[in-house]
Amino acid sequence: MVDVTVEFLGKTFKNPIVIASATPTHDAKRMKKAIDGGAAAVIAKSLFGNSGAIGRKFPRPRFKLYGWKDYPNYPKQVAKYFTLHSLEECSPFGYEDYVKDINEAKRLIGDKGIVICSISGSGIEEWEEMAEAVSGSKADLCEVNVSCPFAGGMGIKMGADAVGMAPDIVRAVKKKLAMPFSVKLSPQTTDLAPLALACEQAGAPALTIAARLSGIMIDINTGKPDGWGSIGGYGGPYLIGYDLKWVSSIAQKVKIPISAVMGVWDWEDVIRFLMVGATVVETCAAIMVRGYGIAGQWVNSMKKFMEKKGYYSIADLKGIALKHIKLTKDVERRPMNVSMKFNKKKCNGCGECVVSCFYDAITIGGDNKAEIDQAKCDVCGLCYEKCPVDAVEIVRK
């Protein structure tokens, strides 16, 4: 048997899976469903300060899924890579009702899971005010949200637009919060690592890396922005590589724990984030389109994987990928011991490899099979990636 429990900010999580601050955690009943579905912790939808109260009312409708229903055989088979576009900034509650809802969530969940509040303000005084408000709740932990991808469009300096203020915000809330916290950063900055380090130096007990990007889509038939007409949160599972980059970079520079969030679609993604140094892993989009119960399925799959690979605890796999990640300057260039080969028994002559060979090394022969000119081939690997019947092989001497 393997042990999937983890310690984060002084609390024991029954597994590393956390439901991120979003629609699935917008009130106590939904948070209870998330824990019943198998997650170890829930982060309540963010409380905005009164300066951002406009965010407590949402456009209707407010969600767009790009590339979701277009997948062949939908809904029997669903796309792994799609875009979730939305405009739902924060909790609909004001301060008093937010605290009541957090307390109700804790009452419903009890010791079966961790309840985490989330705050996002504008200006240091408001951040302090909000920290004091949630300190009166029964939340186990807090996430300090300096990352909302579209809050700046409300006309106030908060969220991603204020990410540079994160160290100052950390110092301010640290004086007022009655519970440990993680500071959630936005990836919409030139280099997230120095900012993460500055937050650690300012006293942040943990980091959450990182929130979604912001984006917009245009309807070419109307010439107008799609949906509600403004920039909104823009993300999905295709962004996991982007956040793996940030988590792996930051994990090697800070000593405080990291909660990873962005692009998590399946249990393998949870493992990937743990392997680059995360302690817990948050998910949102997967829950929104696959339901609360997917968390429990992930835990079971993780346990089977760990047993098969000989990992007896999360500590056995945490950070193991970091030592293998190279700088681009250290990557081996033009190695001569690798080449491409075609398996003619598998090849169906579709020509997809020819379309994408920019070295004129591949042709379709008289037998309707692909042939490769080794003298021209630059071993770029695109034909290997495209072949629909796996007829291309990479040969290493």
**Residues belonging to the active site:** 148
Q: Which two tokens stand for residue 389?
A: 């019947």
Give dist(CA 3, CA 16) in Å, integer. Answer: 11
Cβ–Cβ under 8 Å, residues 89 and 48: yes
Cβ–Cβ under 8 Å, residues 2 and 311: yes
Our CA angle for 41, 61, 108, nearest 5°, is 25
The distance in angstroms from the start CA to the end CA of the chain is 40
Cβ contacts of 366 within 8 Å, gap of 6 or more = none
Give dist(CA 121, CA 151) in Å, integer. Answer: 10
Give dist(CA 233, CA 66) in Å, integer. Answer: 13
Q: Output DSSP code: residue 330.
A: G
Q: Which two tokens stand for residue 206?
A: 């943990």
Residue in this structure with the two tokens 């637009």, named with its chain if needed = 161
Torsion of CA 343, 345, 349, 353, to 10 degrees: -20
Pairing of strands 11-13, 141-146: unpaired
Cβ–Cβ under 8 Å, residues 88 and 239: no
Give dist(CA 245, CA 262) in Å, integer. Answer: 11
